[in-house]
Amino acid sequence: MRTKPLIGVTADRTMMGPHASHVAGEKYIAAAVDGSGGLVLVLPALGARQATADLLEAVDGLLFTGSYSNVEPHRYGGTASATGTLHDPERDATTLPLMRAAIEAGVPVLGICRGYQEMNVVFGGTLHQQVHAVEGFDDHRENKADTLDTQYGPAHAIALAEGGLLQRLAGGAREARVNSLHGQGIETLGGNLVVEATAPDGLIEAISVANAASFALGVQWHPEWQHAQNALSTAIFRAFGDACRARMLARIPRGAERQSMHA
């Protein structure tokens, strides 16, 4: 009998030499294992070739990762991307229907960076394709010439929405400091989404799903990076893991649950 929830972590489809491969960053996997206390299953970006219903039956929670690729703009009615923009249509075909079905089914969901943007698109929102080019917004991209510790270091404050999920996870604090490694961001907020945090320039930095049956949070920054060294990151992954564990236990037949507890 399993004692840890099975957490599906989304993968990107990328080419390794001549071979198509499915890849998930270790930092996300490690955070789901060490921060959320889960067993991890990496989910390939195979679209409809793996039925959404079958995936949801298999997992107790889903972590939608960040990525170097961006959601294809036709998914949210956007204009054509700038030349050289990296897309992953196979991931879009996998994650967008999977996220919607998961939230509807009460499967815990945590979206990070691209995963956060996917959450907005799933609920009918749109994206700024180049935040730094939009008047009034700061440049939220990292300097890729910096060391990783500098790139993922605190970049700016976020204001936490009063009474929101994120503020509760932050122990009632009104603000927190986060890293910033993204070129895209939310333009119009999707329906049934709640703003959980904003950057000083007004860009939305975190969202949740109103009246969701389970944990459903998206964040624009990267809490998975050195998550154990940051109180808010620790709280996010712990809460996500608790929700996954609750779903796992709810799906165990009563007799088997008692047997597991006394094993």
Residue 263 predicted with pLDDT over 60: no
Residue 205 predicted with pLDDT over 80: yes
Question: Per the residue annotation, which of 128, 140, 224, 244 is the catalytic one?
Answer: 224
The pLDDT tens digits for 99-141 are 999 999 999 999 999 999 999 999 999 999 999 999 999 999 9
Residue 260 predicted with pLDDT over 70: no
Predicted confidence band of residue 259 (pLDDT cuts 50, 70, 90): low
The reply to whether 74 belongs to the active site is no
**Domain boundaries 6-251, CATH class:** alpha beta
* Residue 246 confidence (pLDDT): 98
Predicted confidence band of residue 63 (pLDDT cuts 50, 70, 90): very high
Residue with tokens 């990292």: 142
* Residue 94 confidence (pLDDT): 98
Question: Per the residue annotation, which of 72, 90, 113, 182 is the catalytic one?
Answer: 113
The reply to whether 162 belongs to the active site is no
Stretch 68-81: mean pLDDT: 97
* Residue 254 confidence (pLDDT): 66
Question: Per the residue annotation, which of 128, 140, 182, 222 is the catalytic one?
Answer: 222
Stretch 21-35: mean pLDDT: 98
β-pair partners for 15: 20
Residue 258 predicted with pLDDT over 70: no
The reply to whether 244 belongs to the active site is no
